[in-house]
Chain A
């Protein structure tokens, strides 16, 4: 039996995802979809499987069950001419990942490259685009995040907030179809959170398709088109932010909001 094709109108379509680490079940039958230009915020207590969900979407973790589709194409598997599905090779998977940007909690900038070097690395060496064009675009991105003056600095010279803004620009430089954020502000000092959220808010407004795992309730309320709540590896509730925050339909979400809001 062949897997169902994803919905081509959705940028990301996740169906029935399951994942275990040894005896621990981290994801149970998780499904979601994001339409073009929309922002989905994923909320939930620590250890609820939010990060694993993101890492399964771009196959940094290989899910045990279920399927992920990017614009209707299955991630991690390729259809052979005979119509069967086989796991993608390292190279095929890498090409797919260029269409899915990711921003990490710990930034994960490459410390041996300058800020500009971090931005142009993958576009030049993975997408094989001409250097001049890539550098010009990278400079424009640096203008946008307000860090043009840090262009030639090494990451160790930047503050946490600056690092994360660079990491966002690095992901954008690939012109991804969707951008995944894995708790992008959780390892920042409180006074640096604002500058990163401001950049993300702008992106949401400009119509960048995003999936954001976060603990920032304010950001979810303002910037999200939809909010998804997870607990113990399962999706508990999906709703528009207004409804999610003001009138949640499950007791579990009410309990969670009381503690955080």
Chain B
């Protein structure tokens, strides 16, 4: 029972899992903020449409979304490699949750501070960039880090469309060697370590915000 080939396979799978998760989160961050801003602006037709979109995607299981994107988009002439499809699936999924996080912190933003910015001669755009965004970012950060743990936990869904992530490495090893216990338990341990690191990161982010600004 050699460990080293298994471990090097699992390491490669871990890199894939972390890569697609990070890429998906990064794209989802921008997408989520855009969705939240469109919704907050109250544009007729568009904002309610965004609200419905967010509600539908929030209710969609990651696997179902994966099948929809990977098998559905080619019928519109969009053929994606599994890896690109995986990043797209994760960003679509996480963007709606991130949109809700942004929305909550935008809704909570104290009106008086915006008054002070406007009275200080800031245009809407400058006030958003200099005053609203840095604080909404701070308020959203713990939620966004928490969302990262959810993304990592949902990421095995991309194994279903053929991405060789940590989960699929374990499955492949099992089907080849008929030996399930080591690969699955090791893969599980790696997931647990990654997620617990993220949870610790979230706590330290929260703590640092409290230390610096007096409250969350």
Contact = CB atoms under 8 A, between A and B. Distances in A.
* Contact present between A and B (CB < 8 A): yes
Interface of A: 55, 58, 60, 90-91, 94-98, 100-102, 104, 106, 108-112, 121-122, 125-127, 154, 156-157, 167, 170-171, 174
B214 interface: yes
A102 B116 contact: yes
Contact of A112 (B112, B118, B123, B213): B213
A94 B121 contact: yes
B119 interface: yes
B215 interface: yes
A60 B115 contact: yes
B213 A121 contact: no
Nearest to B116: A108
A97 B120 contact: yes
Given A102-B116, A111-B214, 15 more contacts: A60-B119, A91-B123, A94-B118, A97-B118, A101-B119, A102-B115, A104-B116, A108-B116, A111-B135, A112-B213, A121-B120, A121-B130, A125-B122, A156-B214, A156-B215
B213 A122 contact: no
Interface of B: 110, 112-113, 115-126, 130-131, 134-135, 138, 212-215
Contact of B214 (A58, A60, A157, A170): A157
A157 B149 CA distance: 33
B121 A110 contact: no
Contacts of A100: 119
B121 A98 contact: yes
A94 B123 contact: yes
A122 to B, nearest CB: 4
Contacts of B112: 104, 106, 108
B118 A60 contact: yes
Contacts of A110: 113, 116-117, 131, 135
A192 B39 CA distance: 42
B196 to A, nearest CB: 30
Nearest to B118: A60
Nearest to B125: A90
Nearest to B131: A110
B121 A126 contact: yes
A125 B119 contact: no
Contacts of A60: 115, 118-119
Contacts, number: 80
Q: Which 8 A-B pairs have the closest CB atoms?
A: A156-B214, A98-B121, A108-B116, A102-B119, A122-B120, A108-B112, A94-B123, A97-B121
A58 B212 CA distance: 33
Contact of B134 (A91, A112, A157): A112
B114 to A, nearest CB: 9
Contacts of A101: 119
B214 A94 contact: no
A249 to B, nearest CB: 34
A202 B119 CA distance: 23
B121 A122 contact: yes
Contacts of B116: 102, 104, 108-110, 167
Given A121-B130, A125-B126, A156-B215, A174 B115 contact: no
13 contacts: A60-B119, A94-B122, A94-B126, A96-B121, A100-B119, A102-B119, A109-B113, A111-B113, A111-B135, A111-B214, A112-B138, A122-B122, A156-B215
Contacts of A127: 121
Contacts of B118: 60, 94, 97
Contacts of A102: 115-116, 119-120
- Max count, chain B CB within 10 A of own CB: residue among A112, A156, A171: A112
